Every structure is written in structure tokens, then in C-alpha cells.
Copies of this chain bind each other. A is one copy, B any other.
Amino acid sequence: MIESTTTPAEAAPVGYVDDKKALLARLRRTEGQVRGIARMVEDETYCIDVLTQISAANRALERVALSLLEDHLRHCVAEAVAEGGEAADAKVREASDAIARLVRS
């Protein structure tokens, strides 16, 4: 678990604040999927069926990530860009690095 890089008390709300409820519901469901996969392994379920569930859980996490990312571009990156300067540049680079990690994971 990494440290959050920004948690000032006076911070602007995060970009995904309006989607928070939906994101949490999807993450709870994904947590249940992963618990279900553990149960399948515990019960020695046929390998291919376990793999199918892992692909589904991966896609569910990806959808959460893509949704977070869109909110991030729309709010945090947009604001930084509007202010301009080095901070804008840093935000774009940070977002690009996160996209690269997603594409490779």
C-alpha cells in the first residue's frame, strides 16, 4: 500500500466524488468475486472455470480504473491545465504514467 501523495485537510474534492457510490458498489462486488475465486480454489474447482472468473474480476477492476481515470482527466487534470505552468505539465505526466501502468497490467 503506497502513501497518498495529497491529503491536505483543505484539499479540493477528488475528481470521482460524484461517482463514489457507484465505484464503491462495483469494488464491493469485485471483492466478492475475488473471495469467490478463493472458494473455487479451496473446493478444487476445474482450472479453466477459475481462470474464467479471474478474467472477469480483472475486467471489473479495469472498468473501475477507466472510470476513475476519466473523472481524473475531467476534473484534476483539467483544473491544473486551466491554471497552466509547471503544475499542469506535472499532472499530465502523472496521468500518462498511470495510463501506462494500466495498459501494461
Q: Which residues of A contact B (CB under 8 A)?
A: 1-7, 13-17, 20, 23-24, 27-28, 30-31, 34-38, 40-42, 44-59, 61-62, 64-66, 68-74, 76-78, 81-82, 88-89, 92-96, 98-105
Closest to A58 in B: B105
Given B5, B38, B55, B77, which contacts A65 in the complex, CB threshold below 8 Å?
B55
Assess whether B53 is in contact with A98, with CB atoms less than 8 Å apart: no
Number of copies: 4
Residues of B within 8 A of A24 (CB): 38, 41-42
Q: A47-B69, A78-B88, A105-B55 are in contact. Are A1 and B36 (CB under 8 A)?
A: yes
Describe A's contact surface by its main secondary structure. Answer: helix
Q: A78-B88, A96-B69 are in contact. Are A101 and B51 (CB under 8 A)?
A: yes
Residues of B within 8 A of A52 (CB): 2, 98, 101
